[in-house]
Amino acid sequence: MKINLNTPVVESREQRLGTIIGWDGKASDLSKESTYAYGGCDIDGKQRDCRLCEIRGPFTQGSTCSEQMVECQAGNVRDAVLIQHSPIGCGAGQVLYNSIYRNGLALRNLPVENIRIICTNLQESDMVFGGIDKLEEAIKTAWDRFHPKAIFIATSCATGIIGDDVDSVASKYEEELNIPVVPLHCEGFKSKHWSTGFDATQHGIVRQIVRKNPKKQEDLVNVINLWGSDVFTPMLAELGLRVNYVVDLATVEDLERLSEAAATVTFCYTLSSYMAAALEQEFGVPQIKAPQPYGFAGTDAWIREIGRVTHREEKAEAYIAKEHARVFPRINELRKELKGVKGFIATGSAYSHGLIAVLRELGIEVDGSLVFHHDPIYDSRDKRQDSLSYLVGNYGDVKYFSVSNRQQYQFFGLLHRVNPDFIIIRHNGLAPLASRMGIPAVPLGDEHTAVGYQGIINLGEIIIDVLAHKKFHQDLASHTKLPYKKWWLDQKDPFILAKDKNLLNI
């Protein structure tokens, strides 16, 4: 499937990949159903596109949107400015993302500073008469205040409704300021899952910032990531490779040289799928088509594929052998300490698949997982990147594998039916509910914690530390009350409201 960079608007994930946000069953069943997306299915002797059956809930208790993902990506480019063409409420996330941005810079030993995000603060009158004047004023302010090397413009539900011509304004000021002025169309109502916002940012970068006539650097590897610590530099240095971290915490220069790299890798296919495929399609930068770098099997395959693509096979094998010898003794100790422990993963889609693999490497039982959406395929449409199928085939099934976009009311039932000893989570809004059930949470603020061989040790040691505090959470559970009626707490199926709409009339 060809990515279309001729338009400034990215195609949503549900249109492009068949993304769903509601499903419940075994991981093996979801994997089997997802295989239709690779080649269609046979209906009456004809090949037709098939889509996954999706559980559609009657309401949404809370989630996030594509615009916020643009905020946390384009807003984290160090020498650029993001303009949120929106009401001020859309800018509420700036406080959170500023904290994450500053912490990320500190983790990478980069100069700590604040994000550069400006909101046009659209009012009721702007919804009637348009907000173009405010957008132009914001662009001028961004230039006068910061002299950035690029300006990103994020649209919003409000600007999508009133139809402001953001593209024309961007083109006008790109010519006037002689820097990229990049419109990012990310209206929240256009996609049911926020991951489309990742694609919107990456679409704009590849379309307007990446060098169109690159000088190839045979030892440079793009790493598409968020704010995590720098674990990829020492790993890839063993193969004689340099790292180009994007999008978060990158400079505009880093984004420009994306087309010059020898390969593109990531810690999570959910995040990287679009940009990696676009770079391969437009500039011949191969994306590493291998399992994600989690656990021994995944990391081995990932390192070997990088070695093959960059012609460093011998260095790859030497590194694998050295790391196996280094980490095996400690991992065997951790397996003994964690024997009989049961975990639960509640994270983004492909990231969850990798974390479950690491837990099972440690001998931890995983009966349940919650992923916030599911992509039946990624943009490469290459089965070597089918992280769910790889998980099931190499580490076994997950009995209760649920897809839901962070619905608090369902989370109780998802945890109650498997009763784990701990949960691993990245979006901490669900963690307090787990604590009130007596279940401690491992909050992975650094998304690179579990990557690679050392990541297996890192995660095992963190879990041991968290389990040492389980008594506190049990005490908390015995002295708190959940905000749900007994009828709901007694339900066996967390998706029952979606399956039987008549229950809402009780």
Write down the pLDDT at residue 46.
54
Kindly state whether residue 106 falls inside one of the protein's structural domains: yes
Q: Over range 228-241, report the average pLDDT.
A: 97
Write down the pLDDT at residue 50.
62
Q: Does one domain contain both 158 and 234? A: no
Q: Over range 262-286, report the average pLDDT.
A: 96
In this model, does residue 498 exceed pLDDT 80?
yes
Alpha carbon separation from 6 to 28, 40, 156, 420 (Å, rounded): 38, 27, 21, 48
HEC secondary structure over 391-445 = HHHHHCCCCEEEEECCCHHHHHHHHHCCCCCEEEECCHHHHHHHHHCCCCEEECC
- What phi and psi values does residue 455 have, to the nearest 5 degrees? -60, -30
Instruction: Kindly indicate the confidence band of residue 1, based on its pLDDT and cuts at 50, 70 and 90.
Output: low
| Long-range pairs of 136-143 with CB within 8 A, sequence gap ≥ 24 | 136/169, 136/173, 138/83, 138/85, 139/83, 139/169, 139/173, 139/177, 139/181, 142/81, 142/83, 142/116, 142/118, 143/177
Q: Does one domain contain both 243 and 167? A: no
Alpha helices in 312-396 (DSSP H): 313-337, 349-361, 387-395
Alpha carbon separation from 169 to 151, 159, 175, 275, 334 (Å, rounded): 12, 13, 10, 25, 57
Q: Does one domain contain both 154 and 235? A: no
Domain hosting 142: range is 66-185
Q: What is the rounded average pLDDT for all residues in the chain?
A: 93
- What does the DSSP 8-state code read for residue 450? T
- What does the DSSP 8-state code read for residue 258? G
Instruction: Kindly indicate the confidence band of residue 59, based on its pLDDT and cuts at 50, 70 and 90.
Output: confident
Measured distance CA(312)–CA(18) in Å, rounded: 36
Q: Does one domain contain both 136 and 92? A: yes
Residue type, 359: L
Q: Does one domain contain both 179 and 257? A: no
Q: Which of the listed residues 309, 324, 344 is the one where a domain comes to its end?
A: 309
Q: Over range 101-110, report the average pLDDT.
A: 94
- Tracing tokens 């559970």 back to the chain, one arrives at 477
Higher pLDDT, 391 or 42: 391
Write down the pLDDT at residue 43.
44
Residue 424 pairs in a beta bridge with: 345, 442
Percentage of residues of the chain with pLDDT beyond 90: 86
- Going by C-alpha positions, the residue among 112, 148, 154, 161 that lies closest to residue 135 is 154
Alpha carbon separation from 471 to 335, 463, 468, 477, 481 (Å, rounded): 22, 14, 8, 10, 17
Q: Over range 56-62, report the average pLDDT.
A: 82
Q: Does one domain contain both 176 and 283? A: no
Alpha carbon separation from 105 to 102, 110, 230, 313, 495 (Å, rounded): 5, 5, 10, 33, 40
* Residue 123: both structure tokens together: 């009012």
Write down the pLDDT at residue 49.
55
Helix (H) or strand (E) holding 99: helix 94-107
Q: Over range 61-78, report the average pLDDT.
A: 91
Under a CB-based contact definition with an 8 Å cutoff, are residues 398 and 473 in contact? no
Q: Over range 156-173, report the average pLDDT.
A: 96
- Going by C-alpha positions, the residue among 198, 260, 233 that lies closest to residue 110 is 233
Write down the pLDDT at residue 38.
65
CATH number assigned to the domain comprising residue 147: 3.40.50.1980
- Going by C-alpha positions, the residue among 54, 93, 52 that lies closest to residue 73 is 93
How many degrees, rounded to 5, is the angle at CA 96 between CA 91 and CA 100? 130
Q: Does one domain contain both 164 and 244? A: no
Instruction: Kindly indicate the confidence band of residue 40, based on its pLDDT and cuts at 50, 70 and 90.
Output: low
In this model, does residue 91 exceed pLDDT 70?
yes
Measured distance CA(321)–CA(316) in Å, rounded: 9
Q: Does one domain contain both 254 and 302? A: yes
pLDDT tens figures, 368-389: 999 999 999 999 999 999 999 9
- Rounded to a whole number of angstroms, the distance between the first and last alpha carbons of the chain is 47
Kindly state whether residue 71 falls inside one of the protein's structural domains: yes
Kindly state whether residue 449 falls inside one of the protein's structural domains: no
Kindly state whether residue 375 falls inside one of the protein's structural domains: no
Q: Which of the listed residues 292, 309, 326 is the one where a domain comes to its end?
A: 309
Kindly state whether residue 395 falls inside one of the protein's structural domains: no
Please give the tally of structural domains in the chain. Answer: 2
Q: Over range 213-222, report the average pLDDT.
A: 96
Write down the pLDDT at residue 302.
97
Instruction: Kindly indicate the confidence band of residue 4, based on its pLDDT and cuts at 50, 70 and 90.
Output: very high
Q: Over range 38-49, report the average pLDDT.
A: 53
Q: Does one domain contain both 171 and 81? A: yes
Q: Which of the listed residues 309, 338, 362 is the one where a domain comes to its end?
A: 309
Write down the pLDDT at residue 23.
94
Which pTM was predicted? 0.93
Instruction: Kindly indicate the confidence band of residue 441, based on its pLDDT and cuts at 50, 70 and 90.
Output: very high
Percentage of residues of the chain with pLDDT beyond 70: 97
Helix (H) or strand (E) holding 184: strand 181-184
HEC secondary structure over 232-253 = HHHHHHCCCCEEEEEECCCCHH
Q: Over range 288-303, report the average pLDDT.
A: 97
* Residue 377: both structure tokens together: 């395929």
In this model, does residue 177 exceed pLDDT 80?
yes
Residue type, 242: R
- Tracing tokens 């068949």 back to the chain, one arrives at 18
Write down the pLDDT at residue 357.
97
pLDDT tens figures, 354-367: 999 999 999 999 99
Write down the pLDDT at residue 144.
97
In this model, does residue 445 exceed pLDDT 90?
no
In this model, does residue 500 exceed pLDDT 90?
no
* 3-class secondary-structure state, position 54: coil
Q: Over range 277-296, report the average pLDDT.
A: 97
Kindly state whether residue 123 falls inside one of the protein's structural domains: yes
Alpha helices in 108-260 (DSSP H): 124-129, 132-146, 157-162, 166-177, 196-208, 232-237, 252-256
Write down the pLDDT at residue 502.
78
Measured distance CA(202)–CA(197) in Å, rounded: 9
Kindly state whether residue 288 falls inside one of the protein's structural domains: yes
In this model, does residue 36 exceed pLDDT 80?
no
Kindly state whether residue 160 falls inside one of the protein's structural domains: yes
Q: Over range 157-162, report the average pLDDT.
A: 94
Write down the pLDDT at residue 39.
62
